[in-house]
């Protein structure tokens, strides 16, 4: 199966009325800091606070009543958890989410608040734990990225970007497992082939940098990063070919620059995002993606699930 | 002279290419907290970080080269200062701004960064100081609100609101001297007469509550408020008739609720504003403006000129 524009459009029709069309903002106050004309796609303003709801509700709407009745099991650092828990709640299904111990407190509490059961374990164990629970309970696994319905759902953000920003030159997308990048890049490359599309991942977990070089999905060791939403250790095998085909570049960004990006977006752009979502801004600040003053550059801001008391991580960050 | 829709439209044509059309955001994540369908007009994303640039650049573009050559003197708590300083810089004029001692550090530094001279004094003395400087130097006074070109410029935000949110039921606007409210309410009442328009002022400085009751502009004593941008002591005499005619209600909001509003907009809406700009949200949280779940309510978020280190005022605020 190959992800296509048609499948993404079908997802767009399926989830309309559930997910919202998020704003695409022109934030000129950031131009001088980044050296380009800055746009952001504000998925931090999506239902459940991140793009993950797009894929999750698309998947949930694709399940049969019998499947929904068996319950859903998901693996997530928090945003897919909240997305699938809300989608399942709308459709009357039970959810169990396996989250890494590194998940932030607000992501755990947001998920529990939707009635989901949360089980926490070491990051590298989470898929094994989820598969065991699925087998024990006969539940349906909803993978956070390596699933065509999920990828197509995330791609609906790309349909909107192409429509909302016809002047776009470059698009920078956070990447972890690869579901968001696969969907969005497929939509944008089909609708606006001249746009350069880049992936940005934490330098602590450079699974796509390593895998694209190796030509095959390759695992990296688990390491700490401020990008709590970007902790996948290996590309999804369904996502990898899309990323390898569509990425005009992959930036491995240091935590220091991720935090600078987050502070810049907040202080000058007036938009609050979670650390992971600022990674594209960090990539430009670190000089990993070259831009020119006349370039129209859109940063996909993937989520805003960050607690007020987490903002102290920005206290000593200098933009 | 009476402020009219035609004058506001003329201002809109004059400032296009200078001020930007700011986004009007539908922020459904805030609905359950406020009991209505929440929209915000994000003037925190305006050039110079507040709506004040609209009026300032409209005024500056209305001055003759001879007037510009004499230099500009302004009175401002900070947002008009930044707006007029940037407008003057674009047109090659010198600016001196008289700011109250209560002006925040970031507003003083933002103004100085544009090359303006800043003089600080007690809040109640600022107009006297400015008039003395004007007389001494032969400079042109650009009043922060009591000027028809300023009011017409601010009103251009109202043209945009009426176009961007045709489903609007209620609009809540921060008020200090009354320039913003006069302009925006004149535009909105002309284009969408069914919309109810409310003003929100700090309960510490209730100059419009007092003046509307008295039927004439009436001064209130200088007092402290977290709303550093809303410190006018008396309505402008050109603004007062507009406000008296157009306001469907005036809410005098406590600091506690202004800060709750600011934290709610940041935490759930993902938008950073300065304390003053959250006063409309505070008015609803305090129960001063009644709304219903099906009401489409727009909060005009007047500015975002707040420093990161000021955010600690929200630490102990409970939404």
3-state secondary structure (DSSP) of residue B224: coil
> What's the CATH fold of domain A53-142?
Rossmann fold (3.40.50)
The shortest C-alpha distance from B106 to chain A (Å) reads 11
| pLDDT (tens place) for every residue of chain B, 319 residues total | 589 999 999 999 999 999 999 999 999 999 999 999 999 999 999 999 999 999 999 999 999 999 999 999 999 999 999 999 999 999 999 999 999 999 999 999 999 999 999 999 999 999 999 999 999 999 999 999 999 999 999 999 999 999 999 999 999 999 999 999 999 999 999 999 999 999 999 999 999 999 999 999 999 999 999 999 999 999 999 999 999 999 999 999 999 999 999 999 999 999 999 999 999 999 999 999 999 999 999 999 999 999 999 999 999 999 9
Left (φ > 0), alpha (ψ -120 to 50) or beta: where does A207 sit?
alpha
Q: What is residue B1's predicted lDDT score, i.e. its pLDDT?
A: 59
> Which of A25, A40, A270 to probe by mutation at the B interface, max B CB count within 10 Å?
A270
**Mean pLDDT calculated for residue range A302-317:** 96
Among candidate residues A276, A283, A286, the one with its CA nearest the CA of residue A198: A283
Query: Whole-number mean pLDDT of chain A?
Result: 97
Contact indicator for A275, B317 with CB cutoff of 8 Å: no
**DSSP assignment string, chain A:** ----HHHHHHHHHHHBTTB----EEE-GGGHHHHTSEEEEEEGGGSGGGBTHHHHHHHHHHHS-HHHHHH-EEEE-SSHHHHHHHHHHHHHT--EEEEEETTS-HHHHHHHHTTT-EEEEE-GGGHHHHHHHHHHHHTPEEE-SSSSHHHHHHHHHHHHHHHHH-TT--EEEEE-SSSHHHHHHHHHHHHH-TT-EEEEEEETTS-HHHHHHHHTS---------S-TT---SS--TTTHHHHHHH-SEEEEE-HHHHHHHHHHIIIII-B---GGGGHHHHHHHTTSS---TT-EEEEEE-B----GGGGGGGTT---
The shortest C-alpha distance from A39 to chain B (Å) reads 12
Contact B45 A23 (CB under 8 A): no
Contact residues, chain A, for B271 at CB < 8 Å:
270-272
Structure confidence by residue, pLDDT tens digits, A148-206: 999 999 999 999 999 999 999 999 999 999 999 999 999 999 999 999 999 999 999 99
Greatest distance between any 2 Cα atoms in chain B: 56
B 258-297 residues with CB below 8 A of A? 263, 266-267, 269-273
A19 part of contact set with chain B, CB < 8 Å: no
Cβ-proximal residues to B104 (8 Å cutoff; 6+ apart), any chain: B78, B228, B305, B306, B307, B310
Q: What is residue A315's predicted lDDT score, i.e. its pLDDT?
A: 95
Q: Catalytic residue among B41, B50, B76, B77, which?
A: B77
Structure confidence by residue, pLDDT tens digits, A24-33: 999 999 999 9
- When pLDDT is cut at 50, 70 and 90, the band that residue A137 belongs to is very high
Q: What is residue A2's predicted lDDT score, i.e. its pLDDT?
A: 86
Check for a shared fold between B5-50+148-314 and B53-142.
yes
Per-residue pLDDT for A1 more than 90?
no
Residue A312 among the catalytic residues: no
Share of chain A above pLDDT 70, in %: 100
Structure confidence by residue, pLDDT tens digits, A72-100: 999 999 999 999 999 999 999 999 999 99
* CATH for A5-50+148-314, options being 3.60.15.10, 3.40.50.1100, 3.40.190.10, 2.40.160.10: 3.40.50.1100
Per-residue pLDDT for A240 more than 70?
yes
Kindly list the domain boundaries of chain A, sorted by start residue. Answer: 5-50+148-314, 53-142
Residue A77 among the catalytic residues: yes
- pTM to 2 decimal places: 0.96
Contact residues, chain B, for A26 at CB < 8 Å:
20
Q: Catalytic residue among B7, B52, B94, B196, which?
A: B52
Q: Catalytic residue among A52, A59, A189, A263, which?
A: A52
């Amino acid at each position: 199966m190959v992800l296509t524009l048609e499948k993404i459009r079908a997802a767009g029709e399926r989830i309309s009325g559930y997910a919202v069309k998020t704003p695409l903002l022109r934030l000129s106050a950031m131009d001088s800091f980044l050296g380009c004309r800055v746009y952001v796609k504000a998925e931090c303003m999506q239902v459940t606070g991140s793009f993950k709801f797009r894929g999750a509700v698309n998947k949930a709407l694709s399940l049969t009543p019998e499947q929904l009745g068996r319950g859903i099991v998901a693996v997530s650092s928090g945003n897919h958890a909240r997305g699938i828990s809300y989608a399942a709640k709308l459709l009357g299904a039970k959810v169990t989410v396996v989250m890494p111990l590194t998940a932030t407190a607000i992501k755990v509490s947001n998920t529990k608040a939707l009635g989901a059961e949360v089980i926490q374990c070491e990051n590298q164990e989470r898929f094994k734990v989820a598969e065991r629970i699925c087998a024990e309970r006969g539940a349906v696994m909803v993978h956070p990225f390596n699933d065509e319905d999920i990828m197509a759902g995330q791609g609906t953000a790309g349909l909107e970007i192409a429509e909302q920003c016809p002047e776009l030159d470059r698009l920078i997308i956070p990447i972890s497992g690869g579901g968001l990048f696969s969907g969005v890049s497929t939509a944008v490359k089909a609708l606006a082939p001249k746009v350069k599309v880049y992936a940005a991942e934490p330098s602590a977990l450079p699974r796509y940098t390593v895998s694209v070089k190796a030509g095959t999905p390759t695992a990296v060791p688990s390491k700490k990063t401020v990008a709590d939403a970007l902790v996948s250790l290996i590309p999804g095998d369904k996502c990898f070919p899309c990323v390898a085909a569509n990425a005009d570049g992959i930036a491995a960004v240091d935590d220091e620059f991720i935090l600078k990006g987050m502070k810049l977006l907040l202080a000058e752009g007036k938009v609050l995002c979670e650390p992971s979502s600022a990674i594209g801004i960090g990539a430009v600040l670190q000089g990993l993606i070259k831009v020119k003053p006349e370039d129209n550059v859109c940063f996909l801001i993937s989520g805003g699930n960050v607690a007020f008391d987490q903002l102290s991580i920005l206290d000593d960050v200098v933009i």
